Structure 1
Amino acid sequence: MAVPVSPTSPMPPTGEARQLYQQARQASDQGRWQEALELLRNSCRLDRELGWNWLELGELWRQRGELMRAMVAYEAALAARPADALELHRCTEQRLDTVAAGERLTRGLGPVCYRHWLAQHEPALPEQQTPLRQQWLSWRTDRRACPSHTSWSDQRIQQGWLVLLEPEAVLRPGALAAVEAALQVRSDPWLPDLISVDEDRLDPQGRRGDPWFKPDYTPESFWSTPWLGTLSIWRIDWLRDRGLPPPPPDPEQWLAWQLQALAVCPRQLHLGSILVHQRPIQVTGLVSPASLTQARALEAHLRQIGEVVTQVEPHRERGTGFRISWAIPRTCLCSVIIPSRDRSDLLAPCLESLRATAWAALAGRSPAGLELELIVVDNGSREQATAELLRIWQQRLGRRLTIHRDDGPFNWSRLNNVAARQARGELLLLLNNDTEATAAGWLEAMAGQALRPAIGAVGAVLTYPDGAIQHAGIAVGVRDAIFHPYRRLPLDHGVHRGRSSYLTSWGAVTGACMMLRRSLLAQVGWLEEALPVEFNDVELGLRLAQLGYRNVVVPEAVLVHRESQSRDAYRSASEAEARQWMLSHWGPRLRQRQPWWPRQASGYWEDGRPISLPGEPGWRPTR
C-alpha cells in the first residue's frame, strides 16, 4: 500500500503536471488563490491520474466555500488513484463529511448531495421523442388490449414487453428507450425474461430524493425488500410459454404473481439506472392493508417452496419490506467457540453477555429448543486474571463449558478447526472474545437461518462501541473482497432503503460472529489454515457459494465488536501475504461484485454513495 502524500507534504518535482501542482501549492500558501486554481486545473488536465492535484483542488474549493465543486474534485482523486483508495479515503473522509451545506455523509446520502449527483453525474436518458422499436404493453394504461386476466390466448400482443407499473409511480421520460438501448448493447446473446431498474422518490413538491440503488437478485434480499413493486418489465412470450397467467388487475396482488413467476427462474437483467419515481411513503407505525396482503402472499409462497417460516410481517419501523422468522427444531445444540488469549477484560463481558441474552439456552431450557455448549480455546494465556475468570465460569456452567488449551502460534483458522472437530453441536457459532450481545433472541434468529438447507454461513450485524456499523456483510468482488458495506453508518441509516435492517444475502460474513452447520464446515474441508488471520472468513464464504449455498446476515442479531475499532486491519503484518494468497486462488471471482453491491454504488466508499464521474462539471475521462 502506498504511503499517502497529504496536501501539505512535498512531492518529487518530476513531470510538468507535478511541477504545476507544486507551484499551485506555493501560490496557495501565499494567498494567490486564483493563480493556484488555474495551475491546479492545468495540472489535472495534463495528468488526470496523479490524484493529489485533484485532492489539492478540492481543498481550494472547500476553503472558498464551493462545497459541491470540492466534492467533485475529491471524488476525482479517488477515481484517479484506485490503488491508493484506502489512504485517499482517510485523507478525504472528514472533508467529504462537511460537504453539501452541512450534510454529513456519515449519515448516508442526503437530499443536497443527491441533487448534486443528479445535476452533475447521473447518466442522461435518450430523448423522450426517441422512437421505440419493440412492442410495449403497459398494464396500467393499455389494459383494454388485455381483456382476460387468466390466459394469454386471447391477447392482441403476443410478443414484446409487459410493463408492470405501480399506479402512483412515474416513469422518467425516455425510460423505455433506455431499456431498449441497454438491450441492444448487451454482449449476451440471450434476451432477459425479467428486467428490473433502480428508483427514487418524489416529494410533495416533485423533487427527487431517497434513491434506491438495488443489488442484483438473491432470494433473501428480495423476500425482505421486494423491489419489483414500483416497476418490473416482463417478456410476454416467456410468460406465455411458461404457462403463467397475466397479472391480476389489483396491484395489491402483484407480489403474489411476481413470486409465482420468479419460482419459474426467469433470466433476470438489472439495469443500474434510475428509470422510475415512486411517490413518498408515510411511515406512521400503522400497517396498511396492502402490506398485510403482501405479507400473507409472501408467507404462503415461502411455505409452498418448503421454507419453514413461522411469521412474515411488515417492517413497522421502516414502513416497507418484511421481517421473516424461521422455525427451530425442538432440540438443537449449538457449540459456541471462543478463541482467546488473556484479555480477561474482553472475555468476561463476552461471556456475561451470553449469560444475559441466552441463559435459557445455556441451561438447556430454551422454549425455542436451542441449547448451547461453550468451548473456550485458550491460546497460551499467562495472566492470573484469565485463569480465575475461566475457573469461575467452569463452576457456573459445569459440563456446558469446555476449556481447550492450545499454546501454539495464533492461527484463527486452526484454533477454530480444532474446537469444531471436538464440538458436539449440530450448529457452530464462531465468536470473537471481543464481542458482546445486546439483546435476547439473536441466537435463535441466527440458528433459524443456519438450519435452512440452502444457507451456508450466517452473520450478525456488528457495531463499534459508539453504535456505528462495523460489519453488516461482506460484498465479495468489491475492493478485492474486503469491502464492508455501510461501515460507520448508524444502525438506522436509510441508505439503499436501510438494507442492513433487513435479512440480506452477501458474498461472505465476518468470522467475528459466524454460525453454520458443523456438517457443512466438514463438507467444505474446514477453515483454510493457510490464512491464519485475514480473509479466512471470506475464503470460507467463497467455498460455500461455490457449492451453491447462500450466506446471509440477520438484522435481529446485533453485537458490539470492541477491539476492531482500535486495530488497523489494513496494516496487519500478514495482510499482504493473505491478500496475495486470495488473489492466486480466487482472483477471477474477486473481480465480480454482482449480485451483492448495487451497480450504481461506489466501490470506494462504504456509505453507499453513487458512482460519480471524475473531474469537474463537464470533464469526461478518456478511458
Structure 2
Amino acid sequence: MNVRLKRARELAGYAVQLTKDEGLGTMLARGAGFVRRRCFGKKARYLPAKKVLEAQRAEMAGKNFENCQLSTISVLTPLYNTPEVFLRQFLDSFVNQTAPNGELCLADASDAAHSSVGDIVREYQAKYQHIVYKKIENKGIAANTNAAAELASGEYLALADHDDILAPHAMYTMGQAIRQLREAGEPDGFLYSDEALFTKKIEKPLVAHFKPDYAPDYLLCCNYICHLAVFRRELFEQVGGERPECDGSQDHDLFLRLIEQVGGAAHVPQVLYYWRVHEGSTSGGTDAKPYVAKAAKKALADHLERTGRTGTIEDGLYPSTYRVRWDIVGEPKVSILIPNKDHTEDLEKCLQSIWKKTTWDRFEVIVIENNSTDPATFAYYEKARQRYDGLKVVTYPDKGFNFSAINNFGRKAAEGDYLLLLNNDVEVVNGDWLTELLRQCAHPGGAAICGAMLWYPDETIQHAGIVTGLGGYAGHSHKYKKKGGSGYLFRTSTVQDFSGVTGACLLVKTAVYDEMHGLDEQFAVAFNDVDFCLRVRDAGYRIAWTPYAELIHYESKSRGGDEKDPVKAARFAAEQQRLYTIHGKENILDDPYYNPNLTRDREDFSENDDLRRLKEGRVTVRFRGGTLQ
C-alpha cells in the first residue's frame, strides 16, 4: 500500500476515534489547526504572543536583578571577532528580556583588528548594569568560557554563543521553572530547553529542535541538549568548569559531568534559544569543525571511566553521532520465545535466520505451539527439532489467541538470564542483532528492556520504538519512513530511550519480567507490550531501542486485521480503554520521551498542529533521573 494512503487512512481513523472520545468540536478544532499550520504562514510560531510577553514585563515592572524573586542566571558568552550585526542582535536579545534576573558575562578574546567588539559592548554597558565584560587572551572556547564564569555572580549559569539569540522570555521561563522544581522538591541543578534554528530573524525560524525529557542513552550518542542549558554555579565550580582538552565538544562533556552530580536533568519544552545557521557554525553540521568528533569521543570515554563502565566509543551512523559498544558482562543466556499457530513457512524463515546468522551462541529457542490445526505443522516441529539443535516446542494448553498468556506460559520453560519475545513472522537481518540487544542491557546501569529496528519488506520502518499518545494510544516512531535517513534529530539512527518497544522483538531481563509478573493476560492481543513496558518504566527501569539490531517484520501475517471483524474490533476497543484505565489517559498522552510540541496525529515527528503552549508561554518543567553507574 502507498505510504501516503496508509497515513491518510490512519489519520481518518484517528479523526473518527477523536470524534467519539472528545466530540465533533474537538476534532474540527484539531483539523483547523492542521490546515492553519500547513497552509498559512509560520511567522514567529515558536514565540509567545505579544500579550504574553507584555504580561511578563508588567509582572516584573519596577523589579531588578536582586528583588525580582526569580533565581539569578549568569549567561556565559565568549566573544571572538564577533560581526557587529550578530553582536548587536545578541546583546539586544539579552537587554530586552521580559524579566531582570539575567546577568551577561562576556569574555572577549577578539584580536587587535576587532577592537570594535569591546567598543560595542561598552556602549551597551553604559545603559545596562548587568553586563559584565573583560578582555582576555584567546585560549580556546573552554578556557574562554571559564573566564566568563569568573565574572558571574548569579546562582545559576547558562551558556550562549556570541552569534545566537536568546528568546525574549528565556530568563523568565527558566526562573519560573527553577521555582517549580523547588516547590515540587525536585532536583534543580540542571535544566535545558528546546531551541530553533534561524538565518536572519527569529521571527522566521527554519526549524525547531523539540527534545525529549532527559534521555541518558540518547545523550551518549549525541549532544541533543545543546541550548539553552542552565545549571547551578556551585556545580559548575565543583566539577572544575569546562575542560580545554574537550574543545569542540566542551559543552557535551560539561553536561555529562554535571548530570553525574545531579542524577538527571529537567526539561522545559519551550523554545528559549535561537541558533544561527551560517558558515562556520556547528548548527550547520560538524563538517565546519572536524575536531568536534575527536573531542566528543574523549568526553564520552571519560564519562564511562568516571561511572565505572566499560565499552568502546565509535563513530555513529551519521556525522556528529556516536556509539557506545558496551562490554557485555559475563555470558548471559537468552531464551527466545516464539508463539506459533500453523504458518510454518513464516516460522521456518524465522528459525533459519536465527540459526544461520546469529553470532551470539548462548541462546535457546522455545516455540510455543498455540492451537494449530494443520497436521503438517506438527510434522514440521519434529523435523525442525532435528535440524535446529536444542529447539524446544511446548504446547499452550488453552484455546484461543492470547499473546500475553502464551508468552507467560513459554516463560515457564525458559532457562535464560534474558527473555526475547519474538514474533514468528520476523527474519533476522544482521548476525550481531542479539549481541547488540544484549549490549544495551547486560552491563552495569544497563536498560531492563531493549527493542530492535524492524523493517517492512519494502524497506520502510515498521518499528523504531513506541511513543505513547500517538493516535490517542500508542504508535511506532517514524513508521513508514524510508530506509536511509537519520530520523528526527537522529532518532532512528542512534540508541534511544523510549517508553516502550514492540513485543514483536523485545529483550527483557528475566528477573524484571518475573518482578512484573509477566504480561497482563487481560491484554490478550493489543497493547500488552505497551502496558508491560510502562509498568517497567514506572518501576524505575530504563527501556532502550537500538538501530544496530535489525530484523524484517512481515507484520500480522499470522493474525489479520482486527478492524474488519466486529468481535475483534470490540476487543481492541476494550483493550484501548483498559490502557487508559490502568495508566491514565493523561499519562498515556504525555510521553516523556516525546515532546508535547510534536504532533500526536502522525508518527513522523512533525510539529504539532496546535502550538498553543508556546504561544501562551506555558511554563512546565519535568525532572527525570537516569542510571549513570
Instruction: Establish whether TM, by shorter chain, passes 0.5.
Output: yes
Equivalent of residue 305 in structure 2, options 299, 303, 315: 303
Q: 1:591-602 residue pairs with structure 2 within 5 A? A: 591=588, 593-602=590-599
- Tell me, yes or no, if structure 1 residue 277 matches structure 2 residue 272: no
Q: Deviations over 1:412-458 (max 9, x none)?
A: 11211122121121121110011112122111000112323542111
**Structure 1 CA distance for aligned equivalents of residues 327 and 562 of structure 2:** 37
Q: Distance in 2 between matches of 1:270 and 1:139?
A: 26
Question: What corresponds to 1:176 in structure 2?
Answer: 170
Q: Deviations over 1:30-86 (max 9, x none)?
A: xxxxxxxxxxxxxxxxx991745986xx8xxxxxxxxxxx9525x7xxxxxxxxxxx
Structure with larger RCO (C-alpha < 8 A, sep 6+):
2
The worse-fitting range, judged by mean Cα deviation, of 119-128 and 251-260 is 119-128
Structure 2 counterpart of 1:403: 393
Q: 8 Å contact 2:486–2:493 — kept in the other structure?
A: no
Greater mean deviation of Cα atoms: 565-574 or 488-497 = 565-574
The one-letter code sitting in structure 1 at the alignment partner of 2:159 is: L
In structure 1, the gaps of 5 or more residues are 12-46, 59-69, 76-98, 101-112, 362-369
145-154 or 213-222: which moved more? 145-154
Aligned residue for 1:347? 347
TM superposition score normalised by structure 2: 0.71
CA contact (8 A) 1:198 1:214 kept: yes
SS of aligned partner of 1:520: helix
Give the aligned partner of residue 578 of structure 1.
575
Q: Determine the structure 1 residue equivalent to 2:623.
A: none
CA deviation after TM superposition for structure 1 residue 220, in Å? 0.8
Partner SS, residue 223 of structure 2: coil
Partner of 1:35: none
Q: 1:378 to 1:334 in 2, by over 3 A?
A: same
Corresponding position of 2:134? 144
Aligned partner of residue 509 in structure 1, secondary structure: coil
SS at match of 1:528: coil
Residue identity in the other structure for 1:323: R
Native 8 Å contact 2:335 2:363 kept in 1: yes
1:426 to 406, 417, 420: 417
- What's the offset of the Cα at 1:580? 2.8
Alpha carbons of structure 1 residues 314 and 246: separation in structure 2 relative to 1, 3 Å: same
Pair 1:197–1:205, CA change in 2 (3 A):
closer
Measure how far apart 1:298 and its partner are. 0.6
Matched letter for residue 450 of structure 1: C
Pick the aligned partner of 2:157 from 162, 176, 191.
162
* 2:534 corresponds to: 542
SS of 2:319's equivalent? coil
- How do residues 602-613 of structure 1 correspond to structure 2 at under 5 angstroms? 602-613=599-610
Residue 155 of structure 1, CA deviation: 3.9
The residue identity in structure 1 corresponding to 2:583 is W
Amino acid in structure 2 at the alignment position of 1:49: G
Q: Tell me the secondary structure at the aligned position of residue 546 of structure 2.
A: strand
Aligned to 2:405: 414
> Structure 2: which amino acid aligns with 1:198?
D
Structure 2 Cα separation of the partners of residues 451 and 537 of structure 1:
21
Letter in 1 for 2:453: V
Aligned with residue 289 of structure 1, among 276, 283, 291: 291
TM-score using structure 1 length: 0.72
Task: Return the offset for 1:156.
Answer: 4.5
Q: Which moved more, 1:384-393 or 1:174-183?
A: 174-183
Q: Distance in 2 between matches of 1:54 and 1:200?
A: 24
Residue correspondence of structure 1 range 472-511 to structure 2 within 5 A: 472-476=464-468, 481-511=473-503
On the 8 A contact 1:216/1:596 being kept in 2, the answer is yes
2:20 counterpart of 1:49: no
Aligned to 2:230, which of 212, 230, 233? 233
Q: How far off is 1:567 after superposition?
A: 4.4
- The structure-2 alpha-carbon separation of the partners of 1:150 and 1:178, relative to structure 1 and needing over 3 Å to count, comes to closer
Name the CA distance, whole Å, in 2 between partners of 1:450 and 1:184: 33
Cα distance change on mapping 1:278 and 1:379 into 2, 3 Å: farther
Q: Could you say what the CA RMSD is over the residues aligned between the two structures, in angstroms? A: 4.0
Listed one character per residue, the Cα deviations across residues 313-341 of structure 1 (whole Å, up to 9, x for unaligned) are 232x4212211111224533211110010
The question of whether the paired residues in 2 share the 8 Å contact of 1:474 and 1:507 is answered with yes
Question: What letter matches 2:319 in structure 1?
Answer: G
What secondary structure does 1:540 align onto? helix
Extract unaligned runs of 5+ from structure 2.
1-9, 55-92, 109-131, 138-142, 617-629
Question: Which residue matches 2:513?
Answer: 521
1:347 Cα deviation from its structure 2 partner: 1.3
- Kept in 2, the 8 Å contact 1:478–1:593? The answer is no
- Give how far 1:120 is off: 5.5
CA distance in 2, matches of 1:444, 1:264: 31
SS at match of 1:144: strand
What SS does the corresponding residue of 1:450 show, helix, strand or coil? Answer: coil
Q: Which residue of 1 aligns with 2:545?
A: 553
Kindly state the Cα deviation for residue 544 of structure 1 after the two structures are TM-superposed: 1.5
CA distance in 2, matches of 1:197, 1:561: 37
Count of aligned pairs? 512
Instruction: Pick closer, same or farther for the CA change 1:254–1:172 going to 2, 3 Å.
Output: closer
SS of 2:440's equivalent?
helix
The residue type paired with residue 296 of structure 1 is: K
